[in-house]
Structure 1
Amino acid sequence: MASPTRKSDALCLAGAALLAALAIFSLFCGRYPLSPAGLLAGDEMQWRVFWTLRVSRTVVGVVGGFALGAAGFVYQTVFRNPLASPDVIGVSSGASAGAAAGILFLSGAAAVTASAFAGALAAVGLALGLSALDRSGRHGTVVLAGIAVHALAQTVLMCLKLTADPERELASIEYWIMGSLNGISGYSIGGSLALCAVCLAVLFLLHRQILLLAAEEGEARMLGVEVGRLRLAVLLAATLAVACVVSLSGLISFVGLLAPHGARLLTRRNDRPTMLLGGLLGGVLLVGADILARSVAATELPVSIFTSLLGAPFLLYLIVRGRRHP
């Protein structure tokens, strides 16, 4: 019988192989036909579409899904809550308000991306700042602060919608909120992906400390862990990674919830390989959903439609399972 470590390693290799296969398929999937033969023949238009649109879109799908899955693992571990997700401290709602402001008052996709990122950072900073006012170090304070920030950001978003042009601006805001990798190009993703990679590297370097945060706070302090500062640092890194993804793709539902749970169900553990597998499954979910979004209908659909079709039943399953096994 294979040891748990070997089983986890095998699952990670299988997840990486599946993600690589989907990424390759994603490069050639879309309304404009690409083929290996055309690329090898040096077709200029095919190469332009390949490098400018398909590669950047696939890279954002892989890295973005990985970040959402890994961040979801961190949130569920730190909060010791199986229903925790990257939205828990208001990052998604803050990004939505920022994107809406960008659509209304700025021009260009890059400006909307920057505005969404700024909104996410503002929400994170406000939530962490409010939680820092509580000197007890309880992790529940961050959740309550996130709920308050989410409500505030939703109020701002509703006010912005009321001032939007119903035919153009309001439709753009609603489409952004539904989430899509359509329109991503290689000219605007470099900074966000670089910061996302740095945040992910920090999270994996701190994986042991993250697992210690899952223990009781008294036990963690006995092991020399500065619980309050470490929790804030870990949450900030995870949320920054999510903010980078959300600023590029819009809101992607349920990936941060589904991927880490799927990894734990497969490995039956809560360790670094499980965190890695959660990231790989997040990439598989996002890239797979993006392939379906541009394949199943004549017009491209929002990615969150497909992630929600998986996520909503799974969320109900977790709730029912929690009641049966309190």
Structure 2
Amino acid sequence: MITNKKHINAKSNMVLIGGLLVVIAAFILSIHVGKYRITTNDIVKILQGTHEDKMTINVFYMLRLPRSIMVILAGIGLSAAGSVYQTIFKNSLASPDIIGVTSGANVGAAFSIVFATGSVLSVAFGAFLGGILALIFVIGLVKVSKSDNVLGYVLSGIVINAITNGILMTIKYFADPENQLGAIEYWTMGSFGGITLEKLKIVLPFFLMGMVGIIIMRWKIYVLSVSDEEAKSLGISVNRSRLLILLFSTLVVASIVSVTGLISFIGLIPPHIARSILKKNNFKTVLFSGLVGAILMAFSDCLARILLPSELPISIITSFIGAPYLAFLVMKNKKYR
């Protein structure tokens, strides 16, 4: 029995290492892809400080490198958070949408576009604030209803989604059809085209705080995958632990979508792929979900850059990849029906 367990752990570790190597390869590929050609030789010379073309150096450090880092971080963060949501809500179709985080971010961004300056920084701040406020409202509703269980969070999320959709339609009504309305719609489709070094520096601390929090709470995440009664019998403060985990996960999601816009399916599909490969659901599954998400995000972003002369919004690519996979899951597994 012990030998079998060691074999399983060794296999999981090998899968994680393999996933990490693929992520590194995807990151390098992401740096190469784009309208401005950067070769491997260029990258080596830039890192060595011997490259003479200032344009290539500026493109690498100011645009391509920050974008590639953000692509990997977004894939890791959204997928890991999605895996956490699915675990603590005990629902394989759960994602950041389930408690209104993404819809809150959408409203915050739209409000900034229409009623604030509409600058990149104000939109990012509005989206981040909207996602956090949505979570606060959900927590408030759960406390008022005195139903600190999974169903209470899900129902509160439905309420928040309905409210934010109404607010978003109102904001669109007052938006300028020629400029602001188009900006709102484009933001909802997501893009890495506007990522710069400054944006990366702004969101990185919040992203790291959320991920570190998830890591600290990792064993409680696994315990919350069982029933609340069993978790309590193990000495876990279920409500407090679930709240903290949601806060950290939401911090990760909000930090990402505040600069990328909404990205479809990345928080939903990679956790399924990770569980199907590892054949279990623990914190290693959360980590591997993040690696799978990073690979899928990098692949999608590369396609968005090269398929057409003008760059496609990232959610168009992820939707065409994620929707068929979700349909496959529905047809293959009766439990999703």
TM > 0.5: yes
Cα deviation, residue 107, structure 1: 3.4
2:30, 2:68 within 8 Å by CA — same for their partners in 1?
yes
Name the CA distance, whole Å, in 2 between partners of 1:306 and 1:216.
37
Provide structure 1 residue ranges, at least 5 long, that are not aligned to the other structure. Answer: none
Cα deviation, residue 38, structure 1: 4.1
Alignment CA distance shift 1:163-1:211 (3 Å): same
Runs of 4+ in 1 over 4 A off after TM superposition: none
What TM-score results when the alignment is normalised by the length of structure 2?
0.93
Q: 2:246 is matched with which residue: 232, 235, 238?
A: 235
Cα deviation, residue 315, structure 1: 2.0
Query: What corresponds to 1:57 in structure 2?
Result: 67
Q: 1:27 is matched with which residue: 27, 31, 43?
A: 31
Cα deviation, residue 324, structure 1: 6.0
Q: Which amino acid aligns with 2:13?
A: D
Name the CA distance, whole Å, in 2 between partners of 1:301 and 1:325.
31
Segment drifting more, 190-199 vs 20-29: 190-199
RMSD (Å) for aligned C-alpha atoms: 1.6
1:117 is paired with a residue whose SS is: helix
Name the CA distance, whole Å, in 1 between partners of 2:136 and 2:202.
20
Q: Cα deviation per residue 1:13-54 (whole Å; 9 max; x = unaligned)?
A: 111111111111111211112234445223111111111111
Query: What corresponds to 2:283 in structure 1?
Result: 272
1:229 is paired with a residue whose SS is: helix
Q: 1:103 is matched with which residue: 95, 113, 119?
A: 113
2:306 is paired with a residue whose SS is: coil
Query: What corresponds to 2:53 in structure 1?
Result: 43
Query: What corresponds to 2:86 in structure 1?
Result: 76
What TM-score results when the alignment is normalised by the length of structure 1?
0.96
Cα deviation, residue 190, structure 1: 1.4
Name the CA distance, whole Å, in 1 between partners of 2:61 and 2:37.
14
Within-5 A mapping of 1:1-326: 3-38=7-42, 40=45, 41-104=51-114, 105-323=116-334
Alignment CA distance shift 1:265-1:33 (3 Å): same
Cα deviation, residue 287, structure 1: 1.3
2:330, 2:336 within 8 Å by CA — same for their partners in 1?
no
Q: Which amino acid aligns with 1:154?
A: N
Q: Which amino acid aligns with 1:35?
A: T
2:33 is paired with a residue whose SS is: coil
Cα deviation, residue 101, structure 1: 1.2
Name the CA distance, whole Å, in 2 between partners of 1:157 and 1:185.
27
Task: Report the count of equivalent residues.
Answer: 326
Name the CA distance, whole Å, in 1 between partners of 2:41 and 2:323.
41
Q: Which amino acid aligns with 2:27?
A: A
Q: Which amino acid aligns with 1:192?
A: V
